[in-house]
Amino acid sequence: MAEHEDRDGVVVYWRPLCPFCMHLRTRLRLARLRHTEVNIWRDPEAAAFVRLVADGNETVPTVTVAGRPMVNPSMGELMEAVRTHAPHVLSKD
pLDDT of residue 7: 75
Number of domains in the chain: 1
**Domain span at residue 80?**
3-89
Query: What confidence score (pLDDT) does residue 90 get?
Result: 86
Dihedral sign, CA of 73, 74, 76, 78? Answer: positive
Low-confidence residues of the chain: pLDDT under 50: 1
Residues 52, 40: contact at Cβ < 8 Å? Answer: no
The SS3 of residue 69 is strand
pLDDT at 19: 97
What CATH number corresponds to the domain at position 19? Answer: 3.40.30.10
- In tens, the pLDDT along 43-66 reads 999 999 999 999 999 999 999 999
Q: pTM score, two decimals?
A: 0.91
